[in-house]
Amino acid sequence: MLTTDKTRIDVSLKGEVKKETPISFIDLKAQQRRIRPQVEARLAAVMDHGQYIHGPEIAELEKALADFTGAKDVVLCGNGTEALEFAMMGEGIGPGDAVFIPAFTYAATASAVIMAGARPVFVDVDAATFNMDPLDLEIKVKTVVGEGRLRAAMVIPVDLFGLPANYPAINDIAARYGLKILADGAQSFGGRQDGKWVGNIAPMTAISFFPAKTLGCYGDGGAIFSQSKERAEIWRSIRWHGTDPSHKISIRAGTNGRMDTMQAAVVLVKLSIFEDELEKRRHIAGLYDALLKEAIDLPERCAGASSGWSLYSIVLDDRDRIRQFLTDENIPSTIYYQQPLHQMEAFSAFSPQGGLPVSEDLSRRILSLPMHPYLTDDQIHQVCETLIAAL
Ligand SMILES: Cc1ncc(COP(=O)(O)O)c(C=O)c1O
């Protein structure tokens, strides 16, 4: 069911739409024009105090993110992949463990499981929401438990394109089979489930500050959100060679996984405009929905969930022809993902018998349209008119 707020939206297709080309798929330059003086001031402050590693901006951002989301604690790290890895390390996930992940996601979700020494078990996704299908999750968990060779240890739901996964159903399955839940919220900062922000929905949430994310930095960065201070302290230790709080003595194996102070300074500025940008993303998604709903079947949102709108994606039968038409008309679009993970060379050894039909079908039909807070209504009309003309 569509839950996007459609108030204040002009839904009429305007034949006379002004062409404001070029339209960008993601426009970081427009955002930078808005915040550049603040970013420069923040970066200058870092150069003034000179603590390029673990400067005061790290604790400031950790606190700001915890305050924003309501999470108990937040630990910054080098990128979103590390966030997943540290969370698994902290839980002792390793050889002999099965970790259930959706097949329709970015490679990082699967790579992190393999780097932990565990076995990824691919789960199909729901055709309407693109997120992990709880029915298939339960089938896959039962199979692992029945075979008795691996311990059913963890599930990593991914909030694809910004929409929180079906946590109510996944929580229920996890509780019945004793699975730990680590949310992969790399794409969904700003999403909500039943009034809770991503970061405060699952016991552990990994997010990414890759520049194109809803909250990004100017390089790599990531964070893990926790409902437990104890877990967060373990991750703080892991990111600094397993040291104790003095950072002098190693008490466990760890790595160098710190986020740079300069990147934290950038995120602090972007966080100050985040809610305004999120509101703009919601407006754009609502306008897309309103303009396209008569022409194509739109994806559903899970009940109680609202997206952070990192991407606006649709499913088209004749995707490649339509995409070419858009390209010829200077409308950018992207395919996430060309192949589900279980069909990629790197992960095909873990492909389940019989495949994963929904993920395979989506990879042939999915298309993401331009999505960033600085798109104008006229540009959205232009994208939709061109798309509808191509159908
Ligand atoms: C679903 C998902 N998980 C994990 C990651 C990894 O994040 P990073 O690129 O910061 O390592 C990404 C990044 O695109 C992602 O989309």
pLDDT, tens digit (0-9, with 9 covering 90-100), for 61-88: 999 999 999 999 999 999 999 999 999 9
Please give the pLDDT value at position 300: 83
Residue 25 is assigned to a structural domain of this protein? no
Structural contact between residues 212 and 161, judged by C-beta atoms closer than 8 angstroms:
no
- Count other C-beta atoms under 10 Å from residue 285's C-beta: 23
158 CA: nearest ligand 1 atom = 1
Residue 305 makes CB contacts below 8 A (sequence gap 6+) with: 3, 163, 164, 166, 191, 192, 193, 194
Clarify whether residues 252 and 297 are in a common domain. no
User: Of the residues 271, 287, 310, which one is the last residue of a structural domain?
Assistant: 271
Same domain, 265 and 305: no
Question: Sheet of 222-226: strands edge to edge?
Answer: 73-77, 222-226, 204-208, 180-184, 151-155, 97-102, 119-123
pLDDT at res. 4: 39
Judge whether 27 lies within some domain: no
Q: Does residue 263 sit in the same domain as residue 277? A: no
* Residue spans of alpha helices (H) in the chain: 28-49, 56-69, 80-90, 107-115, 134-147, 167-177, 229-238, 261-272, 274-292, 319-328, 357-365, 377-390
Looking at the domain assignment, is residue 164 inside a domain?
A: yes
Indicate the pLDDT class of residue 36, thresholds 50, 70 and 90: very high
Q: Within this chain, do residues 112 and 232 fall inside the same structural domain, yes or no?
A: yes
Tell whether 183 and 315 lie within a shared domain: no
CA dihedral for 100, 205, 266, 284, sign (positive or negative) = positive
The answer to whether residue 329 sits within a structural domain is: yes
**Nearest in space to 31 (alpha carbons), one of 271, 345, 290:** 271
**Do 381 and 284 share a structural domain?**
yes
Choice from 208, 209, 263, 313 to test ligand 1 binding pocket (greatest atom count within 8 A of CB) = 208
| Ligand 1, pocket-test mutation among 99, 210, 260, 310, most atoms within 8 A of CB | 210
Residue 92: CB atoms within 10 Å: 10
Q: Are residues 115 and 205 in the same domain?
A: yes
Tell me the pairing of strands 180-184 and 204-208. parallel
Question: What would the pLDDT profile of 214-240 be if each residue is shown by its tens digit?
Answer: 999 999 999 999 999 999 999 999 999
CATH number of the domain enclosing 360: 3.90.1150.10
**Ligand 1 neighbours (beta carbon < 6 A):** 79-81, 105-106, 108-109, 158, 184, 186-187, 208, 210, 220, 222
Q: What is the spatial distance between Cα 14 and Cα 228, in angstroms, rounded to a whole number?
A: 52
Can you give the residue range of the structural domain that contains 306? 273-390
The answer as to whether 11 is a domain residue is no
315 and 364 inside one domain: yes
Q: In terms of domains, do 239 and 109 share one?
A: yes
- The count of structural domains within the chain is 2
Provide the pLDDT confidence category of residue 302 given band limits of 50, 70 and 90.
Answer: confident
Nearest Cα residue to atom 8 of ligand 1: 80
The two structure tokens encoding residue 354: 């019989």
Kindly calculate the radius of gyration of the chain based on its CA atoms and give it in whole angstroms: 21
pLDDT in tens, 237-246: 999 999 999 9
Residue 1 has pLDDT above 50, yes or no: no
End residue of a domain, out of 231, 250, 271: 271
Asked if residue 231 belongs to a domain, the reply is yes
d(CA 179, CA 157): 12
Residue 6 scores a pLDDT above 50:
no
Considering 239, 271, 303, which residue would you say is the last residue of a domain? 271
C-alpha span between 154 and 138 (Å, rounded)? 13
Residue 256 sits in a domain whose CATH number is 3.40.640.10
Q: Is the pLDDT of residue 16 over 60?
A: no
Residues 63 and 83 in one domain: yes
Domain identity same for 230 and 328: no
CA distance 63 to 271: 12
pTM over 0.85: yes
Looking at the fold, whether 239 and 348 belong to one and the same domain comes out as no
30-59: b (≥16 Cβ within 10 Å) or e: ebeebeeebbeebbeebeeeeeeebbebbe
**Which run of H or of E encompasses 226?**
strand 222-226
The conformation of residue 130, written as its DSSP 8-state character, comes to -
> How far is Cα 85 from Cα 82, in angstroms, rounded to an integer?
5
Residue 202 lies in a domain: yes
For residue 15, tell me if it sits in a domain.
no
Output 308 or 3, whichever has higher pLDDT: 308
